[in-house]
Every structure is written in structure tokens, then in C-alpha cells.
Chains A and B, each alone.
Chain A
Amino acid sequence: MAVGVEWLGAFLSSTVQAGTVLLLAALGETYAERSGILNLGVEGMMIVGAAFSYLITLATGDDLLAILVAMGMATLLALIHAVISISFRLNQIVSGLAITLFGLGLSGYLTFPDVRVGILRAINPSLPMSMAYRQSTPKLPDISIPLLSQIPVIGPAFFRQNAIIYASYILTVLLWWFLFKTRPGLNIRSVGENPAMADSLGINVYLIRYVATLLGGALAGLAGAFLFIGYQPFWVEGMTAGRGFVALALVIFAAWSPLRVMAGAYLFGGVEALQFRLQVLGYGTTAPQFLLMLPYVTTIIVLVALSYEMIRKKIGVPAALAIPYAREE
């Protein structure tokens, strides 16, 4: 198969799919970090989202229910992180890591074949045993947008995708608009820059941080659900493979802005898609692992490039990021 228009179309389509996982998680984390909360638990929330979406889809065949449960469970994890970071004012890096380790362990625990069968039967007692041992489920169906999907090459890449991807387009624009063009969005940003000042102006710092963190969790859960039912509907333990952490780097790369998050997400998604397409073309059959390293190496390079040249001076790190807020009394 030569590198032609067809290959390009397939590559772009994969890019959008791979990028959407990162996009969703990074959008949520953008809000959390804009409010001043660093959430290293994204990886754990994502894998929990993926695990629950797997279990629910397998048990009930209901994709929407799967997505909602996935988001709900991830939000619960985010609540734990929020309580520890905001109300208890403890170290956010440690809390996030603990949540990630917990999420990774829990997802492995629930999806372990013997355990899984019991859970699936509990949800749906009439489930046939053959179903219960399956590791894959049907992928979310693609929906073609008329006219737009007819555009050569990029049409199908962006407009013949599944519902979650379309939702991500809308979410990106919505979240950008909300953060930069509304009063509540301004409040979020001020809480992340100078919580003491915001507090004195009557803004409820704690509430905003809670909501932003929970939103981050919900979107991380959605990202995990998408990863499984919308992108790679074959359950593998630990299938997030560090994407949650890549999303964290992405938020920095995007300078905490939703629109730039989308651009960065597709860039990283492109790296992942490229690695896969290159394998299809026959490169790296002897040593596929080096291609698999690409996303992680790219992340490091991106982080270094950002720091270099003091670009940081032009990019606004939320000044109060990861610093617990306590009102002086």
C-alpha cells in the first residue's frame, strides 16, 4: 500500500480518533488547572472510565449508559482528589498519584476474567457466558455528516466519525467560549491566578475549584470511555498506556486554552496514528517498540521546547496552580 491520498485520508482519520482521547482529558484538566488544581489522577480516572464502559457495554449493550457510568465513576475519583486537595489542602501531586494507582488497580481488579463474569452477571443476570468472557465489544458506529463528509481527504477524517468525536468538537468551542467570554469563566481564571484576591471579591474559591476538578474527572472518564468504545474496543489491562499523563503535558503545551488544546491533541494524535500507519506500511516490523516510544519521546521534546527560550514568559501558568488555598482568618 503506497503513501497516497488513501493513506493520507486513513492517517487523518486515525489522527482525529487518537487525538480525541487526549482532547477530552486535556479539556477537563485545563479547567481544573485554570482553577489552580493539578490533577495527576487523570490517568487513573481515564482507565476507570474505560473499564466501566467495557463492563457496561458488555453487560447491557447500551453505549450511552456505559458512557454515563464511566463519567460518573471517574467523577467520584475526582471528588476524592478534590476533597484531599481543596478541603484538606494536602499535596496535590501525591493525591493525584494515589488516585492514579488506585484507579489502575481497581480497573484491573474489576476486569479480571473471573471477577468480571461475576460483575457482568450481577448487572445483567440473563447474560450468556460466552458474552461474559469476551474482551471486545462493537465499536461505536460512525455517523456521516452529509455534504461535509464529502470533502476530499479531510471530509471523512473529521465528519465521518462517531458521536463522541462530534461532541468533542462542540465541547472544545463551548469550553473555550465559557472560559474566556463569560463571567464564570473569568472567575475560574482569577481563582487560579490569585485566589486570595478572588475570595475578597466574593468569589467562592472552594466551590469553583471543586466544580472544575469534578468537570476534569468527568471528561477524563469520557476520554476513557471513548478510548474503549470509540477507538480501541478491545480490553487490555492498562490500555490507557500513559495517555492521561500525555494529556497533562498537552495542557501545558496548549497554554491552558481549549482551542490550543485541540490543536495539540491532534498533533499528538498524529504521532500516535503515524506510528500505527508506519507499522502498517511495514516499517519497524523488526522493532515496533521504537515506534511505540514516539508519543512519549514527543511529549518530552514538546516539554523541553516549551521551557526553552523562556517561552514561559509569554505563556500564562496559572499563578496559584497546585498551591492549596486557605483563607487567612
Chain B
Amino acid sequence: MVTRWVSVAVSIGAVLLAVFVTAMLFWAIGRDPIEAYAVIVHVFVDPGLLGESMARGVPIVLATLGLIVAFRMNFWNIGAEGQIYLGMFAATGVVLWGAASHMLPPALMMPTMVVTAFSVGGIWGLIPAFLRAKLQVNEVLTTLMMNYIAMLFVDYLVYGPWKDPHGYGFPLTIPFPDYALIPLIPGTTITSGVIACIVVAILVYYVLSRTKLGYEIRVVGESASAARYAGISYMQVALLGMLISAGLAGLGGLSIVSGIIGRLRPRASPGYGYTAIIVAFLSELNPWIAVPAGLIFGGLVTAGEALQAALRIPFSGIQVFQALIFLFVITGEFLKRYSLEVSWGRR
């Protein structure tokens, strides 16, 4: 292992390399890379855009914190995207039910949405967890498949029974009432979801480092056989761990419908669940790094939208940028871990 400073330097180097390659990609399609990066920086500086960035960062941070819990127990939860969708579904369901039945006082709306989004998102994660614990079914594939199922389910709802009758036929639900929206921090353009992120990060840190569950999660993550030897029930840890992981992603979904869009529509998440995987790795599964890293990636999403609007650079350009950061950081791991010894053949 190398020192902390070399490790950080390699990570920064990876990001810079990604910046460079992406600039080349922009240049290759005839756009000015300097202008593009100016837009990206502007997104973090302009107060109005900063608010947008933070709002998009919240679901990423929440999903990432959830993934940190799962990855710490070596459970490859690739299903954050689907769990986000289930959270969006649950939160929207509460709003629609409240609007239809008038049985939910406005003051209780948001707390109910929080509990429901967490629970329903969590349940979506329990299925792959159970299958893995009981039957050793590969969780990478099951969580992935459930992403597609979840997205199709939400599609069904917004194109069908949940479509706003006054929405001119567009696949949208009714707009959420004010008390179902996440408020801004008073006096700023920044969503109070950011505070929730910090609170959740503290909770995740506390659970992972100071509770029995957290200890068991870490042992299971280190070595399944050691865990068994220590009498830890994989089933229990997997279920609880994934409930939390998927539940947090579900909260991320709530922060999308209540913090960004204000209603539910198809493709409401532009891949936040997958972005969260990248951020979880960049943060080295550390909740304290996950918060700023996730918020920065939220800024990148906003930048992507701005680039498409202002410079006709496709939004996928930002997705390529994020994937490149991911690729280079992964490769950088090699430099951090081994003294240079690339293997090719027999010597």
C-alpha cells in the first residue's frame, strides 16, 4: 500500500486525465473544450445553478451512502437505479392517495413519504438479498434485472393509471402540492435535502463503525467464511444491510420527485443509481467523502444539461466523462496497489 498522499494524487491524476480525454471528445465533434469546461465550472459558481446542482446531488449522495453499506458487505448492489424508481413510486403514491382521499393532513405528508419511500425501496432490495442469502443467486444479475422491471413499472403507471387527466396526454402525474415538496434552506437556493444527506452520512458512519450490525457487515465483507466461523448469520446481515442500502436509494428517489421534478414521469432518474456506483468507488466507500463527491456529481449532471442546451453537446458527453473518471480511477488502483509489474507472459 502507498501513502495517503500518493493515493490522493493518483485519484486527482485520474480525474485530470478524464478531463483531458473528454476535452478531446468535445473537440472531436467541433465544440470548444474551453467553453465547455467554462460552462461546467459556471454551474458550481452561479447561485441559481448551484441550487440545481445540489438538488441533483442529493439523490446521488443518498444512493451512494446506500451503496456504501451494501459494498461494505461485499454485496454487489447494482440495483440502486431500480430502488430509486421504487422510492419515487412510493412517494408519488402517497401524494396521489393523499390527494384522492383527503385523509392525510399536509403536515404528515412529507414524513409519510419518507417512511414509505424508504420502506418500499428497501423491500425492492430485499428480494435479491434473500435470493443471494438463501440460494446463492448472483446478485449482480438479479439487481440489474430488477432495475429494468422497476423502470417499466413506473412507465406503466405514468402512461396509465397515474397520468394527470389535465396533463394534455403527457405521461406525467399531477404536480405535487407544496407541502409534498422538499423545501429550500431559508435564505438560499439550496435544497434542505443537503442537510438530510449530511444526517444520513453521520448515521451510516455510526452504524458501520459503532454498531453490531455494522461490525457484522464489515466482517461479512472481509471474509464470508470468517463471518460464518464467528457465528454471523449471513441471511440476517444481507437482509438488514440491503434494506438499509435499498431504502436509502428509495429516499434518493423521493428527493427526485419532491426535490427536482415535483411530479413523476418516465425516466425521472437519468441513471443516478449507476452514477452512485461510480461515486461510491471514488469515495473509497467512505461516507464523509461520499457527500461532497456526490454533490459534485450532481453538479456534473446539471452541467450536462447546460452543455446540451448551450453548446449542443449531448448529455451523454457527461456520462462519458463520468465513466472515464471511473475507468481511470480504477486503473489508478493498480498504481496504488502494486509496484509496477505488468504481467504478460512467461518470463
Query: Is B141's CB under 8 angstroms from A109's CB?
Result: no
Bound complex: CA A286 to CA B312 (Å) = 37
A9 at the interface (CB under 8 A from B): no
Query: Is B327's CB under 8 angstroms from A308's CB?
Result: no
Query: Is A84's CB under 8 angstroms from B331's CB?
Result: yes
- Rounded to whole Å, the gap between the CB of B22 and the closest CB of chain A is 10
CB contact under 8 A between A303 and B156, given known A88-B334, A101-B323, A108-B316:
no
Bound complex: CA A86 to CA B149 (Å) = 33
From the candidates B159, B278, B314, name the one contacting A109 in the complex (CB within 8 A). Answer: B314
From the candidates B30, B160, B320, name the one contacting A105 in the complex (CB within 8 A). Answer: B320
Query: Is B319's CB under 8 angstroms from A105's CB?
Result: yes
Interface string of A98-110 (1 = CB under 8 A from B): 1101101111110
Query: Is A112's CB under 8 angstroms from B153's CB?
Result: no
From the candidates A102, A287, A304, name the one contacting B156 in the complex (CB within 8 A). Answer: A287
Instruction: Report chain A residues within 8 Å CB of B345.
Output: 204, 206-207
From the candidates B160, B277, B320, B322, name the one contacting A97 in the complex (CB within 8 A). Answer: B277
CB contact under 8 A between A307 and B135, given known A95-B330, A327-B343:
yes
Interface string of B136-158 (1 = CB under 8 A from A): 11101110111111001101100
Instruction: Report chain A residues within 8 Å CB of B322.
Output: 101, 105
Max chain B C-beta neighbours (<10 A), residue from A93, A101, A312:
A101
Query: Is B274's CB under 8 angstroms from A101's CB?
Result: yes
Query: Is B155's CB under 8 angstroms from A97's CB?
Result: no
Instruction: Report chain A residues within 8 Å CB of B78.
Output: 97
Instruction: Report chain B residues within 8 Å CB of A109.
Output: 25, 314, 316-317, 319-320
Instruction: Report chain A residues within 8 Å CB of B315.
Output: 108
Query: Is B160's CB under 8 angstroms from A287's CB?
Result: yes
B281 at the interface (CB under 8 A from A): yes
Instruction: Report chain A residues within 8 Å CB of B317.
Output: 105, 109
Query: Is A94's CB under 8 angstroms from B152's CB?
Result: no
Chain A residues 240 to 266 lying within 8 A of chain B, measured CB to CB, are 241-242, 245-246, 248-249, 252
From the candidates A40, A95, A108, A307, name the one contacting B319 in the complex (CB within 8 A). Answer: A108
Q: Is the interface of A mostly helix, strand, loop or mixed?
A: helix
From the candidates B135, B137, B274, B314, name the one contacting A115 in the complex (CB within 8 A). Answer: B314
Interface string of B319-344 (1 = CB under 8 A from A): 11111101100110110001000111
Bound complex: CA A302 to CA B338 (Å) = 40
- Rounded to whole Å, the gap between the CB of B205 and the closest CB of chain A is 23
Query: Is B330's CB under 8 angstroms from A90's CB?
Result: yes
Instruction: Report chain A residues within 8 Å CB of B240.
Output: none
- Rounded to whole Å, the gap between the CB of B300 and the closest CB of chain A is 12
Bound complex: CA A80 to CA B327 (Å) = 9
Interface residues on chain B, size class: 35 or more
B12 at the interface (CB under 8 A from A): no
CB contact under 8 A between A289 and B156, given known A88-B342, A242-B148:
yes
From the candidates B137, B281, B319, name the one contacting A303 in the complex (CB within 8 A). Answer: B137
Which residue of chain B is the closest to A252 with respect to CB atoms?
Answer: B138
Bound complex: CA A267 to CA B69 (Å) = 37
Instruction: Report chain A residues within 8 Å CB of B342.
Output: 87-88
Chain A residues 201 to 222 lying within 8 A of chain B, measured CB to CB, are 204, 206-207
B131 at the interface (CB under 8 A from A): yes
Which residue of chain A is the closest to B328 with respect to CB atoms?
Answer: A98
Query: Is A308's CB under 8 angstroms from B344's CB?
Result: no
Which residue of chain A is the closest to B136 with respect to CB atoms?
Answer: A307
A319 at the interface (CB under 8 A from B): no
Query: Is A93's CB under 8 angstroms from B142's CB?
Result: no
A134 at the interface (CB under 8 A from B): no
Instruction: Report chain B residues within 8 Å CB of A119.
Output: 29
B37 at the interface (CB under 8 A from A): no
From the candidates B138, B316, B338, name the one contacting A112 in the complex (CB within 8 A). Answer: B316
Return the 8 tightest CB-CB contacts between A and B, nearest first: A108-B316, A105-B319, A112-B314, A102-B323, A105-B320, A289-B156, A307-B135, A88-B334
Q: What are some 26 contacts across the A-B interface (CB < 8 A)?
A: A87-B342, A89-B338, A90-B331, A90-B333, A90-B334, A98-B278, A98-B326, A101-B326, A102-B326, A104-B316, A105-B316, A105-B321, A109-B319, A112-B314, A237-B316, A249-B145, A287-B156, A290-B156, A293-B148, A293-B153, A296-B145, A299-B145, A300-B142, A307-B131, A307-B136, A326-B343
Beyond A89-B338, A108-B315, list 13 extra A-B contacts (CB 8 Å).
A88-B338, A94-B330, A105-B316, A108-B319, A109-B316, A112-B314, A114-B29, A237-B316, A242-B145, A286-B160, A296-B149, A304-B137, A308-B135
